[in-house]
Amino acid sequence: MVKLDNNTFKEYFKNLTNKRIFIDIFKNLPSLEKKVLLRDYFLYLLHTSATMSQDTILVSTTTKKSVAKQFTRRIENDKRIIFHYFIFKPYFCHTITPWKMKELHKWIGDLGLPLYSPMGVYPTQKEVSIKGGLYPQNILGIELVDEKKFIVNPNLFHFGVDEMEFMIEYKKIPINQERFVERISNETHYSNSIWTHDDFCGLTISIESK
């Protein structure tokens, strides 16, 4: 079992022999699920470490409201907003979490690969990394921090309590997303769009740049 700090971790993968070993281990894993879990283990470190590249497909979120509030920033006249979000099962398909990384820790070590702290680089931030983006069908509502207001996702009012509990745990909130690509292009300043396809875990992420 090899345990390395972040800088040594980078040096490990600069070594071409280590890179080939990693690729061979990845290719020989018995299932796509195992490959996703191995990828997620290292992707989580790349995303959360300030010493490494931030260009990942992950969005940083937290289970701790006080941490979310600390990361809100006021830009000119923009309002500070916290998104309240939920994840449906199977969780590992849609997120990378520190407790999942902790669960994988022994397995990664048994593969002979380098390890980092299983609770992430900044454990007090309680980060949950969302794969791809924050999708409207998973947003419970938004909190206007400065105004101390909470705006509930209006689609929640279309269903009974029992229906909603089932959808939140296993599915998603039905959202009409017709003309989404057209609207995001014409009505916002965003240069990328993300959408999903039915594939492994029901979530294959595509990213398109203008």
Give, rounded to a whole angstrom, the gap between the first and last alpha carbons of the chain.
44
On whether both 151 and 191 belong to a single domain, the answer is: no
pLDDT tier for residue 28 given thresholds of 50, 70 and 90: very high
On whether both 156 and 78 belong to a single domain, the answer is: yes
On whether both 104 and 26 belong to a single domain, the answer is: yes
pLDDT above 80: residue 34: yes
On whether both 102 and 143 belong to a single domain, the answer is: yes
On whether both 13 and 108 belong to a single domain, the answer is: yes
Mean pLDDT of 141-164: 84
On whether both 61 and 156 belong to a single domain, the answer is: yes
On whether both 190 and 155 belong to a single domain, the answer is: no
pLDDT at 155: 80
Higher pLDDT, 87 or 83: 83
Number of domains in the chain: 2
Q: How far apart are CA 32 and CA 48, in angstroms?
A: 24
On whether both 153 and 90 belong to a single domain, the answer is: yes
Q: Comparing C-alpha atoms, which of 136, 49, 170, 38 is closest to residue 96?
A: 38
pLDDT above 90: residue 187: no
pLDDT tier for residue 52 given thresholds of 50, 70 and 90: low
